[in-house]
A = this chain, B = another copy of it.
């Protein structure tokens, strides 16, 4: 399971700056499309993708704002991704009467296709290196906070220009710890309609136990259709469906959006991560799972309401347990230390480099010391309430939108404002009971961890009881009504200031506290880490050249590898699984959840060719955020659909080990077999296979 959970929201302050890695292992790397590993591919596979091949794959790939990846698979805008990436939209469209998670969904005709409340899809249409402009903006400014400010203004200016000139969503992304800055421009689509999703149980057979493992037997797919101006998007940039699909030993490519990795973190950063961040996040996740499970136990409708949440939290917990184990692994820590020692030694060996860059590690280490007391606040200052998040956005939006673009809080720059508004005005339903559950849980935990007198907590509960305060806020607010939100958004500062809505009132109290925390983090830590990271990035280019890939940043990357098993459980895991295995695992657990067959799977026994490949593994280097990534062959044809990594891949946040790190995908032949034999979706299968 590779949903992008938590990585940037909670951990950004700590993972703020990145360091360098000395050498690339076989099939390692999440490469940017401007710097594909042509030498490695030529040497190992005697294959050189053309620029047209690369452009076609890039333009066929999409990023979903729900935290995953996908690809166009028909000239009529069909978009393939994972069921678990589509799950949020399925949940939002479901009700007590229509449970699309439980039952799945299939629109056999265009008019049945179901609009997603707040799904945005991005296609990376342009990339421009703006390193000189960004780095130059802070040149000669000796005050660190002012230098950072200047850089941020320049970044805002570049994105605004990009947006104004093209109308495209424009982001500045930094790679190699700030060694490079790029303007990434996306075509954004927001009319995205669901065409097909299997039953949750067929997509996620094996549930939480099997999550992040392999062998697997999951049909973790969903198909949307992207509309443009109310009509299906017509495009040449789609992936042809491979007739036979991925074959063992075959060279494959993965094009997707890995969320974040920490492979170039310095040791000082890794140790803070290990000792402070991981235990706190793990505890937070466990507490939240327990409270959601208690709620779900009240009845089937309650269970439905929190199903997606529990699913995501359990996924996140497994990630954090894996990260914790990786950082507790002495061999991994020793390797990271050896890599850093090598890097520092090589920098030190050149007096000029040493003078220019040698200080960076110590600078980062002392900044990390300053980060330490901030971390608990960063993690536990949260409400987990959708409505409160919107309330705070409304309050801050009104104030920020008046300022020059370069001076605003990061999330309110012009370039991203459309996407932000799309989220703020989402018509997805809000359940008061779960709002209360989540918000009270978060605030009680914050109070426990940070103390009753914590300013953030106090701004909301004002000395009273958390549960009472939360009930009053949720019961009193009108923000569940999109029209109310729209009124405040359009009404500007006056409307927000005049609002007596209790959520808005509370958000007005919270706003200055959040601003102060952000300012302090930026002025005392970000302002130090940014130039220090840039030093490391430049040093890395000096020492190791540019035959390297940057850490993951939820931007489009190209990975490659072969379809291959791996040593596991004292034996070897097979490169592919088949439908036989699905029925084996179900029967071997007596068909008990989470290993139960769906009624369609039970009925499909006589129809399916059970030897059809269902899932497979490859050595491609991926991480959370790659969910839904297409797997393609040398011809650029779609042979699979990434949906998970094996348990051994959990260490991939820090190191890639090609002997056992594997990406798990649904096989293209398995998807067709399921569509035709289990779901009677021949029309759809025909469209995918280009038969109509």
Mark A residues whose CB is within 8 Å of B.
206, 209-213, 215, 248, 318, 568-572, 574-578, 580-581, 583-585, 587-590, 595, 610-611, 613, 646-647
Contact = CB atoms under 8 A, between A and B. Distances in A.
Contacts of A576: 588
A206 B589 CA distance: 22
B584 A588 contact: no
The 3 tightest CB contacts between A and B, nearest first, are A570-B647, A574-B588, A581-B584
Nearest to A580: B584
A578 B568 contact: no
Given A210-B571, A574-B588, A578-B588, 6 more contacts: A213-B571, A569-B569, A571-B647, A575-B589, A580-B610, A583-B610
A578 B610 CA distance: 14
10 contacts: A209-B572, A210-B571, A213-B569, A570-B647, A575-B588, A576-B588, A577-B588, A578-B583, A578-B584, A580-B580
Contact of A580 (B211, B568, B574, B587): B587
Nearest to A592: B248
A392 to B, nearest CB: 38
Nearest to A591: B611
A212 B588 contact: no
Contacts of A209: 571-572
A590 B213 contact: no
Contacts of A581: 580-581, 584-585, 588
Contacts of A589: 574-575
B571 A206 contact: yes
Contacts of A318: 570
Contact of A577 (B210, B570, B572, B584): B584
A588 B248 CA distance: 9
A318 B571 CA distance: 11
Contacts of A585: 574, 581
A568 to B, nearest CB: 6
B583 A611 contact: yes
B572 A569 contact: no
A647 B569 contact: yes
A595 B578 CA distance: 14
A578 B585 CA distance: 8
A569 B571 contact: no
A49 to B, nearest CB: 28
Contacts of A210: 571
Contacts of A213: 569-571
A215 B571 CA distance: 10
A613 B572 CA distance: 23
A66 B395 CA distance: 82
Contacts of A568: 569
A494 to B, nearest CB: 55
Contacts of A611: 583, 587
Contacts of A595: 574
Contacts of A583: 578, 580, 610-611
A613 B646 CA distance: 27
Contact of A248 (B212, B584, B590): B590
A1 B274 CA distance: 40
Contacts of A613: 588
Contact of A570 (B212, B248, B575): B212
Contact of A646 (B570, B584, B588): B570
A610 B583 CA distance: 9
A611 B580 CA distance: 10
A646 B570 CA distance: 8
B570 A578 contact: no
A351 B545 CA distance: 72
A484 to B, nearest CB: 46
A687 to B, nearest CB: 28
A210 to B, nearest CB: 5
B647 A588 contact: no
A587 B609 CA distance: 12
Nearest to A590: B248
Contacts of A610: 580, 583
A571 B206 CA distance: 9
A610 B582 CA distance: 12
A576 B575 CA distance: 23
A578 B591 CA distance: 12
A206 B568 CA distance: 13
A524 to B, nearest CB: 40
Q: Which of A585, A587, A589, A611 has the largest count of B CB atoms less than 10 A from its CB? A: A587
A577 B215 CA distance: 14
